[in-house]
Amino acid sequence: MKIPMAMTIAMLAGGFGTAAQAAGNIQAGKAKSAACTACHGKQGISSNPDYPNIAGQTAPYLAKSLREFRSGLRKDPSTDMNRIAAGLSDADIADLSAYYASLRR
Ligand code: HEC
């Protein structure tokens, strides 16, 4: 079985009991989301049409998007997301994805 990288790292980091939790910590993601609210809104719903709503999207999709912005595979025309994702660790991505997936659209 192939175990996703973020999950492996979260499990190695220890402390998380189950695989479901190891995929990302919602509370940790909430704390880290302070860096995202200026553009994506307080609850992941943006009031500015230049920025997409990210609340309620699935965690795997959010994590994939962030990894692709980080690697440069996906390019944000404004380059903002590429710059921001460059500073995220795999654990940050897992936590942020779990948090935004937990919010209502
Ligand atoms: C300076 C503004 C800005 C900040 C701050 C910002 N983003 Fe973004 N984000 C954008 C823009 C603009 C896009 C759309 C990029 C594109 O067109 O591909 C985007 C797209 C995304 C997407 C893809 C959404 C989709 O539907 O495909 C995700 C996920 C995301 N951001 C997460 C985050 C997270 C998590 C943070 C905080 C760590 C964050 N963003 C901080 C501007 C920002």
CATH number of domain containing 48: 1.10.760.10
Pocket test for ligand 1, best of 74, 84, 96 (most atoms within 8 A of CB): 84
Q: Is 10 a domain residue?
A: no
CA-nearest of 29, 48, 28 to 38 is 48
Overall number of domains in the chain: 1
Binned average pLDDT, 10 residues per bin, the chain of 105 residues: 58 46 86 98 96 97 98 97 98 98 96
Ligand 1: centre distance to CA 105 (Å):
16
**Cα dist from 42 to 29, 48, 103, whole Å:** 13, 12, 11
Half-sphere exposure of 71 (CA within 13 A, CB side): 9
Ligand 1 near 59 CB (within 6 A): no
Residue 105 and residue 32: Cα distance in Å, rounded?
Answer: 19
Q: Is 20 a domain residue?
A: no
Q: Is 72 a domain residue?
A: yes
**C-alpha Rg value of the chain to the nearest Å:** 13
Q: Is 2 a domain residue?
A: no
What sign results for the dihedral spanned by CA atoms 14, 20, 24, 30?
A: negative
Containing structural domain, residue 52: 26-102
Neighbours of 98 (CB within 10 A): 24
pTM, full prediction: 0.85
Two tokens at 36? Answer: 């995202």
Q: What is the pLDDT of residue 7?
A: 56
Ligand 1: centre distance to CA 3 (Å):
26
Q: Is 6 a domain residue?
A: no
Q: Is 63 a domain residue?
A: yes
Ligand 1: centre distance to CA 54 (Å):
8
Q: Is 40 a domain residue?
A: yes
Q: Is 61 a domain residue?
A: yes
